[in-house]
Structure 1
């Protein structure tokens, strides 16, 4: 029996080695295409104005989001994302900004930390999962390397707003999910998440719709942030 098991292991070793080699090649090609795709600009002639509507593009290193004034002449986000959807203990804070991002339903709801991400959830997200909006309410967020200010012309900001509004379902047709803290919340949203249409692609597509210079294909946070000056 021992000899047979040893022989089986010897036969399996080359197969496992080839499988790992193919996996490494696929991962390497994906990373290379992601770098190339994120380096090809959309709206290449765009330049940031000296004055305009200040937004932020923020990241935690994996995920990106767009931070906007809660209320300004172009948009009052309190209509779409009321603080009353937050827990009662947080609803009355003097919020000044909201952070908006899009992602995969199960990943958002079931992975408060990356340590909670399971293989089935990751595979489901990569192959096609439902969309979900994540809205965080902020009080005077401070600029930093992970929250970079970007100024838009009023017309550009209006296009950004319209793009995000298209993702917002009417209150009667959406489900509200509790967030990770008392100042954030999730909403059902249209769209299908997959490996070619990630949360970071949503960020760059939204910025591109406003006319901002950004990369063509940005599956990773770095591909978005490299277009936003520090």
Structure 2
């Protein structure tokens, strides 16, 4: 029975991630370049730190991390489950009880990493948006950013990242990877409908040449 349920889940994720949203979208030739990153389990949106549309330094100041002095050029923003984020510095630290708790339901948390000129590659794929599309992406992310007086900051895994309390409820139907695809969809990008796994997101983003 368990094997059947697991197999059914993977079939459902394949089908759900193959049904596209924003089917008419075509990547523009110019605009604002972002990146969609993955570590094979989790996805993130890598954004230019400052553009005429948005200066992320106000929302995610470098003073919130342990090494604020570097010349950061980008921030990577992702969303996930609180206990998994805070108690799993490496995937080998993930406990079955934590994973099951997240699947059933847990509080959301934003993870923000500061990067210096991140290089494109198979795990960090460039994606061009028009300025209006990027503005919609920014608005979708801003909706997850609590006012400074209402959010708690949590130390990250390294000297260049940090966690923030965020709204939303994580569960098997609303995962970190679903957040990534929902945010891209809000910008108008063609992306899968249900993408609980990273492959369901990344298969829509062309690999860097």
TM-score, scaled to structure 1: 0.89
Deviations 1:7-38 (A, max 9, x none): xxxxxxxxxxxxxxx00000000000000000
CA drift at 1:52 = 1.1
Superposed displacement of residue 119, structure 1? 1.4
Name the SS of the counterpart of 1:170 in structure 2. coil
**Using the alignment, how far apart are the partners of 2:113 and 2:24 within structure 1?**
32
What is residue 82 of structure 1 aligned with on the other side?
A: 61
Map 1:45-194 to 2 at 5 A: 45-87=24-66, 90-194=67-171
Cα distance in 2, alignment partners of residues 66 and 141 from structure 1:
12
Query: 2-side partners of 1:179 and 1:144: how far apart?
Result: 24
Gaps of 5+ in 2: none
Shift of 1:140: 0.5
Gaps of 5+ in 1: 1-21
Q: CA RMSD in A?
A: 0.4
Q: Report SS of the residue matched to 1:72.
A: coil
Select which of 193, 197, 213 maps to 2:174: 197
Q: Which has the larger radius of gyration?
A: 1
What is the aligned counterpart of 2:2 among 11, 14, 23? 23
Residue 200 of structure 2 is matched in structure 1 by 223
Aligned equivalents of 2:27, 2:150: Cα separation in 1: 37
Misfit runs of 4+, over 4 Å? none
Distance 2:59 2:91 in 1: 29
Aligned partner of 1:34 in structure 2 is 13
Instruction: Report the number of matched residues.
Output: 207
Once residues 74 and 54 of structure 2 are traced to their aligned partners in structure 1, the CA distance between those partners, rounded to angstroms, is 12
CA deviations on 1:104-132 (whole Å, 9 max, x unpaired) are 00000000111111111111100000000
Counterpart CA distance in 2 for 1:116 and 1:110 is 8
Q: Equivalent residue of 2:139, what SS?
A: helix
- Deviations along 1:196-228, whole A, 9 cap, x unmatched? 000000000000000000000000000000000
